[in-house]
Structure 1
Amino acid sequence: MRHRLYWLLPDLASARLAMDQLLLARIEHRHLHFHAREGTDLGSLHKASALQSSDLVSAAQRGLALGAALGAACGALFAVSPVLDEANKPALVAALAASGALFGAWTASMVGVSVPSRRLARFNWDIEHGMILLMADIPHRRVSEIEALMLAHNPEAHFEGHEPNVPSFP
């Protein structure tokens, strides 16, 4: 697991310097995500994807749960029908719950990708006023080292906290 550290950087030059320092500290490029105001050219900086900047993941999770519940409820309604064989009723409930979960996750993720992330809402004002948000996914054992490095080499960067338990793979 990793910790996601947040820094607000005042401009593109500062963001490039921060990226260079983190790359020299052997933080992989794929674990550095920069988020800026719409239309900002980040150049060679690794722009935050929809996974980091939208509500995609939490919307998909909510859709999965709601779809599974509604699918299971529909399956239960069909299961009380005298038309179906008793042996097929549990399979029908399970199939409709699974189908509902998949459909719910898919449709909710389509909506969630267009909604800004609630986790990043606290940075909206700063981003709209030209600052650049750096999200760095750091191994737990290196958090204090990277915080000290950023503070030493980027005095203009504002440390904005961290989020524990970010999965390692995205």
Structure 2
Amino acid sequence: MRRLFFLMPNLESCRQVVAELEDEGVPEHHLHAIASLDQSLDGLPEAGVLQKTELAHGLEWGAGLGGVAGMLGGLLAVSFPPAGLVLGGGALLVGAAAGAGFGAVVSALLSSHEHNHDLDAFQRAIEAGEILLMVDIPRQRVDKIRELILNHHPEAHIGVAKLPA
């Protein structure tokens, strides 16, 4: 999946782009709009926590690092069993799963309060009154969607980013 970033000059042109994208088969839950606090997004799909924060990135890192730490803890428990207990390979799996879960939760709690750094490049334009529309589409449709929007809305500024798996 790829995320297209459209900077639109006003609410009406953003609504037109959303309607055109929905006509092209882009589902509404793949459309995310962000505007300044003093602007209304009536009729537009607003961006949620996953789009506005580093939550998804934090979950990935937390689960990965927690899984590795848990597996190392399980390996230590197998190598040096406490109080003469005999532990098998299941201790490695349990340690890795517990570590991944704990790491994901802690990292998600921390990163849910950090703004999405991909949006930094658009901050001034948003504060100046433009509306940022993020569209998540399959990689093979990027060129077609960009061309469609630019043909009807040459005022749109478009950027592309790769989404995490």
Smaller-chain TM-score bracket: 0.7 to 0.9
Q: TM-score, structure 2 length as denominator? A: 0.85
SS of residue in 1 equivalent to 2:118:
coil
Change (3 A) 1:73 1:141: closer
Q: CA deviation at 1:89?
A: 4.5
Mapped partners of 1:39, 1:61: distance in 2: 33
Q: How many residues align?
A: 164
Mapped partners of 1:65, 1:166: distance in 2: 14
Which has the higher mean CA deviation after the structures are superposed, 10-19 or 123-132? Answer: 123-132
Q: Does 1:37 align with 2:44?
A: no
Q: Which amino acid aligns with 1:85?
A: L
Q: Which runs of 5 or more residues in structure 2 are unaligned?
A: none
Match of 2:91 in 1: 92
Identity %: 34
Match of 1:14 in 2: 13
Q: Which amino acid aligns with 1:35?
A: I
Deviations 1:11-68 (A, max 9, x none): 2122112112222233222221112224542111011122222101110111112212
Mapped partners of 1:82, 1:142: distance in 2: 56
Q: CA deviation at 1:133?
A: 1.0
Q: TM-score, structure 1 length as denominator? A: 0.83
Q: Which runs of 5 or more residues in structure 1 are unaligned?
A: none
**Higher helix content, 1 or 2:** 2
After the TM superposition, which parts of structure 1 deviate over 6 Å for at least 4 consecutive aligned residues?
Answer: none
Q: CA deviation at 1:166?
A: 6.2
Mapped partners of 2:136, 2:77: distance in 1: 47
Match of 2:160 in 1: 162
Give the root-mean-square deviation of aligned CA atoms.
2.2
